[in-house]
């Protein structure tokens, strides 16, 4: 939503014959205008051509004009006028022309299929960004993305007027940037043993998962981004999240031992040794980083540096005392300060996560605040510039809906609306402090994003909500207005090939036993937006199918295949059809998302590592406690229970507390699931041995007969054994009458 829009009487119709005239001869302006024309060519039926303004009189044309005296003065700003005589985009700088072109593309793409021409209402837009840092962080360490995919992401970001890609290039599980002076960083540090779903990517659990970016590739990406007015801010994380570096050069570490490149997710204790030799290494890495990345800002991490190894090391303790420092946090500040000062000497500014704040890093260091509200408040009080990147709201590795077909991720749900409603200004911040907020950023950590398709799903559409928070004045904040603009945004993304998530609009089904012999089915969607239409014959719903208005009453005695989809008022399909089988058996079936966790210690939604090809099941599971509850299960006439289970590799050593991991004695060598009545200590209803399930890596359905039980009861279901030896998860549980 632009900063200011004024509607006028009349309109202008753009056809493929409308000339696009550029009044500027600088290459960046030419790129901006050509990009507008090319993108429009992808997202509409209009095929425009750019001509040099030169001596041509701008009649009935789209005019792009670079004018140092243009009215809108803010960086990135532009004005866009549509009158019956034509369209004019004016800006002081090429970036303004680029963003003006993006906005004009938006105005031209409702009715995008009209070859005869698109009528645009007469209006005047004056527009500029609220924040100068409008970012997305991409973690290429946990999972790796191709150059071609990152270029796609950059292009799509630029269409949302985002201007920073924070590139997380190093972590425990991979070092992804080639550093010629230290070749082992990518020879050793860019490969790890395939973990979990990685095996599906490499083709075998025995094939390592590898990848890094060469100098040439980085230069290509940086240039591609710059053309789209995106700065790539590289991150080399230190002193923690450094296991891949220490695996490459053990002398970088405290113990001198060589760890493997990390395969467990979480916070680990392999820290860089904070001495002169390490700093020499870091300086050399920074030399290469500065040579490759023109960004003023260089991110040096600083997060989650658990000091176990530092505390245990006499050499590190002696170094701390020699520097006159009181504790290891101060030693981290000292280390970060050395790196920040090295960057400052070369005209660059260090950025660090908010754990760098113990009061001693230079005030010129930019703080990226992920701990709300404390991190940001503290940083602002200390006078730092701050980028707001609050966990969990802006952490896109959190899944965006509780639909069973949502891909894996971390709870809780961070919805499209949650991101849209994010307020980047901490309450109580003074005007001086607010001036230090550079902007906002969403972060895509990729532990659970093994493929680019998963990344796209996590990023889009929530990044559009973030983009509006970052660009538009707070006064324009309007969730319903934003929703109204989503269908055309989705249509553009569809034309561009963006694999966005429809989770916010997808129909969800709630089944409940109804009056005698019926089942009540309520349909809804997360955003409460659009019209849900459904069929009962298994066909795909269209706008002509039955509109949903109130809960359906369907017969329990036969099976109905209910399919529902969501449509915008113009008929655009906002969410693809979802299917629900409705019959009595459905009321006696639960998937893992419909069961409760017994303790909610560390619940994740995880993907099975098998099958290697094709769709893999996703389970909601507490990785510290393999225990589920089915509240008020209807047990009348139930004779058997079927449990479909899968086994997942354990790679969470660093996210869990060993003391809290629940282990249960096994009655047989392979272990078993037990089902107890009413509570986990209640009467044993069934035992389901796992011997058969351990013979395959695929899902297995176990069936047990249960004694006749009346009425509804809570059921407690748990697996014996230790989750660290292999994590059992329930895919589906069915109560069977025969
Ligand atoms: C972070 O999430 N470790 C910055």
pLDDT of residue 703: 98
The sign of the dihedral angle between the CA atoms of 477, 483, 487, 489 is positive
| Predicted confidence (pLDDT) per residue in 322-342, tens digit | 999 999 999 999 999 999 999
Mutation to probe ligand 1, out of 303, 388, 414, 444 (largest number of atoms < 8 A from CB): 303
Return the pLDDT at 55: 72
Q: Which atom of ligand 1 is nearest to the CA of 443?
A: 2
Average pLDDT, stretch 413-423?
A: 98
Work out which ligand 1 atom sits closest to the CA atom of 368: 4
* Residue 498 CB partners (closer than 8 Å, separation 6+): 156, 456, 460
Check if 457 is active-site.
Answer: no
From 353, 461, 443, select the one nearest 398 (Cα to Cα): 443
CB atoms within 10 A of CB 314: 7
* Ligand 1 center–CA 51 separation, angstroms: 48
Cα-to-centroid distance, 355 and ligand 1 (Å): 9
Distance CA 153, CA 175 (A): 21
Q: Give the mutation target among 235, 266, 352, 370 for probing the ligand 1 site: most ligand atoms within 8 A of CB.
A: 370
Calculate the average pLDDT of the chain.
96
pLDDT tens-place string over residues 370-381:
998 899 999 999
How many Å apart are CA 208 and CA 222, to the nearest integer?
28
The reply to whether 241 belongs to the active site is yes
Query: Is-contact 58 86, C-beta < 8 A?
Result: yes
| Ligand 1, atom 3, residue with closest C-alpha | 303
Q: What is the pLDDT of residue 373?
A: 87
Kindly tell me the number of DSSP H helices and DSSP E strands found in the chain. Answer: 19, 37
Question: With bands split at pLDDT 50, 70 and 90, how would you rate the model's confidence at 57?
Answer: confident
Q: What spacing in Å lies between the alpha carbon of 304 and ligand 1's midpoint?
A: 7
Q: Distances from the Cα of 83 to the Cαs of 64, 97, 157, in angstroms?
A: 14, 18, 29
| pTM for this prediction | 0.97
Q: Are 696 and 646 in contact (CB under 8 A)?
A: no
- For 410, 523, 665, 714, the CA distances from 528, given in Å and listed in that order, are 23, 10, 47, 32
Supply the DSSP string of 545-611, one letter for each residue: SEEP-S-EEEESSS-EEEEEEEE-TTS-EEEEEEEEEESHHHHTEEEGGGSEESS-SSEEEEE-S--
CA distance linking residue 384 with residue 236, whole number of Å: 20
Q: Are 176 and 628 in contact (CB under 8 A)?
A: no
Q: Whose CA is nearest to atom 4 of ligand 1?
A: 303
Does residue 495 carry a pLDDT above 90? yes
Joined together, the tokens standing for residue 306 give 């658990």
E strand map for 455-572:
508-513, 518-524, 531-535, 546-547, 552-555, 560-567
| Bond prior to 239 in cis (omega within 30° of 0) | yes
Q: Which atom of ligand 1 is nearest to the CA of 389?
A: 4
| % of the chain exceeding 70 in pLDDT | 100
Statement: residue 56 has pLDDT above 80: no
pLDDT band at 131 (very low <50, low <70, confident <90, very high): very high
Catalytic residue among 304, 341, 593, 714: 304
Measured CA distances, 560 to 513, 533, 537, 583 (Å): 15, 16, 7, 7
Q: What's the CA gap between 528 and 520, in Å, rounded?
A: 20
Contact predicate 21/52, CB 8 Å = yes
Q: How far apart are CA 273 and CA 269, in angstroms?
A: 11
**What's the rounded mean pLDDT across residues 527-540?**
97
Instruction: Give residue-wise pLDDT tens across range 607-630.
Output: 999 998 889 999 999 999 999 999
Task: Please give the pLDDT value at position 655.
Answer: 76
Residue 185 Cα, ligand 1 centroid: separation in angstroms? Answer: 22
- Using left for φ > 0, alpha for ψ between -120 and 50, and beta otherwise, residue 522 falls in beta
Q: pLDDT tens for residues 436-484?
A: 999 999 999 999 999 999 999 999 999 999 999 999 999 999 999 999 9
| Beta carbons within 10 angstroms of residue 133's beta carbon | 26
Q: Are 77 and 91 in contact (CB under 8 A)?
A: yes
**CA neighbor of 391 nearest in space, from 413, 366, 372:** 372
Q: Are 436 and 387 in contact (CB under 8 A)?
A: no
Distances (CA, A) of 360 to 340, 353, 365: 12, 14, 10
pLDDT grade for 592, boundaries at 50, 70 and 90: very high
Cα separation of 349 and 306, whole Å? Answer: 25
Over residues 590-599, the mean pLDDT reads 96
Helix (H, G, I), strand (E, B) or coil at 236: strand
Residue nearest to atom 1 of ligand 1 (CA): 303
Predicted pLDDT at 588: 97
Handedness of CA 422, 423, 424, 429 (dihedral sign): negative
The pLDDT assigned to 31 comes to 98
Set 81, 127, 171, 622: catalytic member: 171
The string over 624-637, giving b where at least 16 C-beta atoms fall within 10 Å of a residue's C-beta and e elsewhere, is bbbbbbbeebebee
What separation in angstroms does the CA of 700 have from each of 408, 644, 656, 690? 20, 5, 27, 9
Ligand 1 centroid from CA 20, angstroms: 45
Q: DSSP label at 237?
A: E
Distance CA 727, CA 694 (A): 12
Per DSSP (E only), the strands in 38-180 are 49-52, 61-66, 78-83, 86-91, 118-127, 133-139, 164-168, 170-171, 174-175
Element (H, E) at 435: helix 431-435
- Which one of 166, 241, 384, 533 is the catalytic residue? 241
pLDDT at 687: 98
User: Residue 75: CB partners within 8 Å, gap ≥ 6?
Assistant: 93, 95, 128, 129, 132
- Residues 233-272: tens digit of each pLDDT: 999 999 999 999 999 999 999 999 999 999 998 888 999 9
Q: Ligand 1 centroid to 234 CA: how many Å?
A: 15
Question: In this structure, are residues 301 and 352 in contact, taking their beta carbons and an 8 Å threshold?
Answer: yes
Is residue 65 predicted with pLDDT exceeding 80?
Answer: yes
Q: For residue 300, list its beta bridge partners.
A: none
| DSSP state for residue 18 in the 8-state scheme | S
For residue 193, the tally of other CB atoms under 10 A from its CB is 17
Could you read off the pLDDT of 284-311 as tens digits, one per residue?
999 999 999 999 999 999 999 999 999 9
* Ligand 1, CB within 6 Å, residue ranges: 303-304, 353, 370
DSSP string, 123-146: EEEEE--S-SEEEEEEETTTS---
Structure tokens at 365: 């260091």
Q: Kindly give the number of the ligand 1 atom that is closest to the alpha carbon of 391.
A: 2
**pLDDT, position 697:** 86
* Mean predicted confidence (pLDDT) in 212-223: 98
Q: Known catalytic residue: 171?
A: yes
User: What residues form DSSP beta bridges with 565?
Assistant: 533
Length of the chain: 738
Judged by DSSP in three states, 271 sits in: coil
Q: What percent of the chain has a predicted confidence (pLDDT) above 90?
A: 93
Q: What is the pLDDT of residue 507?
A: 98
Whether the per-residue pLDDT at 359 is higher than 90: the answer is no
Residue pair 306/240 in contact (Cβ under 8 Å)? The answer is: yes
Provide the pLDDT for residue 653. 78
Give residue-wise pLDDT tens across range 651-700: 887 778 899 999 999 999 999 999 999 999 999 999 999 999 999 889 99
**What is the gyration radius of the CA atoms in the chain, in angstroms?**
28
φ and ψ at residue 90, rounded to 5 degrees:
-125, 135
- For residue 360, the model assigns a pLDDT of 87
Instruction: Supply the residue whose CA is at minimum distance from atom 2 of ligand 1.
Output: 370
């Amino acid at each position: 939503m632009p900063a200011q829009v004024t509607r006028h009487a009349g309109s202008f119709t753009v056809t493929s014959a409308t000339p696009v005239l550029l009044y500027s001869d600088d290459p960046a302006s030419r790129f901006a205008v050509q990009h507008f024309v090319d993108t429009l060519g992808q997202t509409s039926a209009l095929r425009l051509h750019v001509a040099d303004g030169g001596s041509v009189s701008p009649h009935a044309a789209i005019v792009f004009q670079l004018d140092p005296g243009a009215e809108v003065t803010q960086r990135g700003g532009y004005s866009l006028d549509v009158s019956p005589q034509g369209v004019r985009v004016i800006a002081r700088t090429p970036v303004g022309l680029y963003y003006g072109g993006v906005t004009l593309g938006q105005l031209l793409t409702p009715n995008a299929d009209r070859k005869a021409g698109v009528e645009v209402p007469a209006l005047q837009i004056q527009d500029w960004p609220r924040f100068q840092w409008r970012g997305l962080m991409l973690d290429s360490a946990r999972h790796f993305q191709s150059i071609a995919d990152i270029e796609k992401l950059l292009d799509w970001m630029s269409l949302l007027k985002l201007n920073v890609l924070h590139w997380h290039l190093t972590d425990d599980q991979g070092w992804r940037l080639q550093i010629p002076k230290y070749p082992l960083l990518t020879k050793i540090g860019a490969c790890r043993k395939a973990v979990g779903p990685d095996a599906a990517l490499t083709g075998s659990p025995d094939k390592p998962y590898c990848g890094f970016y060469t100098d040439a590739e980085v230069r290509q990406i940086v240039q591609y981004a710059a053309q789209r007015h995106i700065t790539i801010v590289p991150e080399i994380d230190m002193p923690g999240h450094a296991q891949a570096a220490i695996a490459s050069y053990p002398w970088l570490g405290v113990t001198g031992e060589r760890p493997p490149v990390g395969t467990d997710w979480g916070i680990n204790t392999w820290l860089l040794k904070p001495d002169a030799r390490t700093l020499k290494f870091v300086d050399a890495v920074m030399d290469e980083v500065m040579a490759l990345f023109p960004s003023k800002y260089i991110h040096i991490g600083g997060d989650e540096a658990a000091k176990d190894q530092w505390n245990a090391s006499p050499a590190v303790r002696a170094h701390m005392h020699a520097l006159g420092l009181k504790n290891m946090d101060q030693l981290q500040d000292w280390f970060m300060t050395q790196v920040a000062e090295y960057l400052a000497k070369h005209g660059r500014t260090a950025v660090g996560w908010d754990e760098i704040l113990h009061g001693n890093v230079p005030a010129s260091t930019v703080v990226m605040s992920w701990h709300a509200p404390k991190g940001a408040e503290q940083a602002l009080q200390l006078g730092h510039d701050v980028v707001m990147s609050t966990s969990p709201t802006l952490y896109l590795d959190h899944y965006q809906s509780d639909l069973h077909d949502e891909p894996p991720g971390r709870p809780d749900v961070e919805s499209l609306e949650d991101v849209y409603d994010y307020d980047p200004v901490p309450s109580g911040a003074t005007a001086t402090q607010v001036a230090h907020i550079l902007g906002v950023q969403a972060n895509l950590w990729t532990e659970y994003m093994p493929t680019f398709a998963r990344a796209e799903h996590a990023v889009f559409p929530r990044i559009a909500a973030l983009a509006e928070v970052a660009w538009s004045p707070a006064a324009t904040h309007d969730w319903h207005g934003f929703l109204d603009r989503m269908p055309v945004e989705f249509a553009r993304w569809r034309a561009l090939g963006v694999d966005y998530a429809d989770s916010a609009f997808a129909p969800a089904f709630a089944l409940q036993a109804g009056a005698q012999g019926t089942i009540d089915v309520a349909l809804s969607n997360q955003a409460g937006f659009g019209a849900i239409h459904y069929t009962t014959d298994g066909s795909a719903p269209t706008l002509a199918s039955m509109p949903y208005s109130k809960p359906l009453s369907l017969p329990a005695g036969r099976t109905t295949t209910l399919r529902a989809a969501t449509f915008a008022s113009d008929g655009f399909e906002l969410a693809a059809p979802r299917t629900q089988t409705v019959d009595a058996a459905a009321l006696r079936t639960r998937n893992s998302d419909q069961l409760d966790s017994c303790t909610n210690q560390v619940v994740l939604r995880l993907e099975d590592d098998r099958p290697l090809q094709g769709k893999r099941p996703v389970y909601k599971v507490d990785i510290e406690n393999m225990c589920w509850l089915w509240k008020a299960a209807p047990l009348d006439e139930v004779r058997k229970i079927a449990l479909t289970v899968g086994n997942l590799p354990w790679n969470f050593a660093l996210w869990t507390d060993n003391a809290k991991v629940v282990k249960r004695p096994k009655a047989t060598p392979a272990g078993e699931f037990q089902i107890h009545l009413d509570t986990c200590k209640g009467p044993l209803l069934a035992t389901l041995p796992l011997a058969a399930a351990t013979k395959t890596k695929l899902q297995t359905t176990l069936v047990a007969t249960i004694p006749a039980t009346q009425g509804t009861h809570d059921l407690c279901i748990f697996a014996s054994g230790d989750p660290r030896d292999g994590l059992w998860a329930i895919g589906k549980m069915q109560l069977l009458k025969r």
